[in-house]
Amino acid sequence: MSTDDRRVGRLPNFVKWADLHFTAMQLPERASPEEREDFVHYVRAMKTLLGCATCREEIRTQLLDPATALASALARVDGRQSAVEFVRQLHNHVNRRLGRRQYDRAESQRHWEWYKHHALPPTTPPAATASSRGSRAEGGPSRFLCVAAALVFVVAVLALVLSGNNGRRRPPTNNTSA
């Protein structure tokens, strides 16, 4: 992926940030240790996945130094509410650095209410057990990880479509200078 922000464009970067916000919203109220670990790894992966060089650098410096407030907040994530708040703080930190708008908790709550209404599947009936849902203890991936992987796939397809070459390799140019 190119690190030239003008070439990458706002939409793919916007989609990645939206994915990070919605991934936080996908966590259960009380995350299992595995779900929490998956979330932390996913957040830290943004230091290489985001197209914006400033975003990548801020995530790298803020999350890899345990003395920073954001690294401390990430360490305290234990479920949906703390994950959503952490991502809001992280995004606001990067936006401050870029001179962009800050988002408050009320706006985050409105996004969560929209997400609950439009994007979450109906709750699992009480009769269903962890084993019938493919629990991680039985070797199945967590729901959180499946949703995150699906969203990353959508982002990759969107990036291909927006690149204009539909995934085809461009023929090599013959740049021979005498």
CA distance to 16, 81, 114, per residue, from 117 (Å): 21, 17, 5
Q: Quick check: is 134 in a domain?
A: no
Domain count, the chain: 1
Tell me what the pLDDT averaged over the chain comes to: 74
19 inside domain: yes
pLDDT exceeding 70 applies to what percent of the chain? 58
In this predicted structure, what is the pLDDT of residue 133?
A: 46
Q: Is residue 154 part of a domain?
A: yes
Instruction: Compute the average pLDDT of residues 9-21.
Output: 74
Instruction: Give the model's pLDDT for residue 105.
Output: 85
* Residue-range definition of the domain harbouring residue 71: 5-119+143-163
Name residue, tokens 């996913």.
Answer: 42
Two tokens, residue 153: 């796939």
CA 74 to chain centre: 14
> Does residue 174 register a pLDDT over 60?
no
Check if the beta carbon of residue 81 is closer than 8 Å to that of residue 26: no
In a domain, 125, yes or no: no
Give a yes or no: residue 10 inside a domain: yes
In a domain, residue 66? The reply is yes
* Mean pLDDT comparison of 22-26, 34-38, 57-61, 118-122, highest-scoring range: 34-38
CATH classification at residue 57: 1.20.120.310
pLDDT given for residue 135 in this prediction: 45
State residue 66's pLDDT score: 86
pLDDT confidence tier of residue 33, bands split at 50, 70 and 90: very high
For residue 129, being part of any structural domain is answered with no
pLDDT at 103 over 60: yes
| pLDDT, position 36 | 93
> Would 157 be classed as within a structural domain?
yes
- Distance (Å, rounded) from C-alpha 43 to C-alpha 35? 12
pLDDT of residue 16: 84
Measured in whole angstroms, how far is the alpha carbon of residue 111 from the centre of its chain?
Answer: 15
